[in-house]
Amino acid sequence: MKPLKILIVEDEIITAMDLQETLQEAGHIVTTTARTFQDAVKAVRNHPPDLALIDIHLEGSSADGIETAKKLLEIHHMPIMYLTANSEPETFQSAKETLPVAYLLKPFRHDELKMQVELAYNYFQFTLAKTSSAPVSDYLYFPVDKGHEKIDPNDVLYIEADGSYVKIFLANKKNYHISMNLSHLAQYFPTPNFHRLSRSLLINLNYLERLEANHLYLVNHESAIPIPVASRKELMNKLRVVRTKKSPLN
């Protein structure tokens, strides 16, 4: 196969060097070896890779590998491979939300890594081609009452995770409660106006009517939606806010 441009996100220097040597031996190009969330985001923006190999535990980083992967996927669509020493079921379930192409446990075997990278990328390309050839429509069809009901994505106010279900709230005050994972559903709302406010909330910024220090309000929706402290800065960066020196939103 053709050489791949691969991003390594690994906090352990020796492991990162071992990964880089293994991938280069297979003919691939390591674009960057990042140790933190910030380094990884910068690397993807400057040198978009074909694939990212990410450790879940990142010592000294502001976010773990799973949260890092979520952010990277917002910037650049690519296959994600996890390489970790953590085999706990909770971590694995959380990692599944990013739809990784592989989840490998440390210590890794060099030959296995080379094969998994090739298999993962080929599968990703096959899936991408299959999706690209699918019929295109401006509408989404949600599974409702043993059928599928047409919904205009532009009418969606926000989507909220509810255990193994999601609640979909529309501008006309109609709502749906369907069995689906929010991370899976979020891929059907790729436009910039849909913002992942938290792990449990996806909001349509086109309906944002009022913004306060810790809450926001959407059109035709009376209840305030809390803004997580960790998400406030990213939200503000997406909005054209007229700031004052004493603004509590700064």
Tell me the pLDDT tens digit for each residue of 71-85. 999 888 899 999 998
* Amino acid identity at 20: Q
CATH number for the domain formed by residue range(s) 5-132? 3.40.50.2300
Across residues 36-50, what is the average pLDDT? 93
Cβ proximity of 250 and 241 under 8 Å: no
> Percent of the chain having pLDDT more than 70?
94
- Same CATH topology for 5-132 and 140-238? no
231 three-class SS: helix
Measured in degrees and rounded to the nearest 5, phi and psi for residue 244 equal -120, 160
**Mean pLDDT over all residues of the chain?**
89
Residue 145 has pLDDT above 90, yes or no: no
Q: State mean pLDDT over 25-29.
A: 95
Indicate if the pLDDT at residue 10 is higher than 80. yes
From CA 59, how far away is CA 19, in angstroms rounded? Answer: 18
Examine the pLDDT at 138 and tell me if it is beyond 90. no
pLDDT of residue 65: 94
Q: Which CATH number fits domain 140-238: 3.90.550.10, 3.20.20.370, 2.40.50.1020, 3.20.20.140?
A: 2.40.50.1020
pLDDT at position 250: 56
What is residue 13's predicted lDDT score, i.e. its pLDDT? 94
pLDDT tens track for 191-237: 889 999 998 999 999 999 999 989 999 998 888 999 999 888 889 88
Where do the structural domains in the chain lie, given as residue ranges? 5-132, 140-238
- Return the biggest CA–CA distance within the chain: 59
Q: Which is more confident, 16 or 126? A: 16
Cβ burial 6-26 (10 Å sphere, 16+ → b, else e)? bbbbbbbeebbebbbebbeeb
How many other β-carbons are positioned within 10 Å of the β-carbon of residue 228? 14
Residue 131: per-residue pLDDT: 59
The pLDDT, as a whole number, for residue 152 is 92
| Contact indicator for 241, 232 with CB cutoff of 8 Å | no
Do residues 193 and 171 lie in contact, with contact meaning Cβ atoms separated by under 8 Å?
A: no
Work out whether the CA dihedral 225, 210, 156, 227 comes out positive or negative. Answer: negative
Whether the per-residue pLDDT at 143 is higher than 80: the answer is yes
pTM of the model: 0.55
Query: Mean pLDDT over residues 164-169, rounded?
Result: 92
Q: What is the pLDDT of residue 184?
A: 84
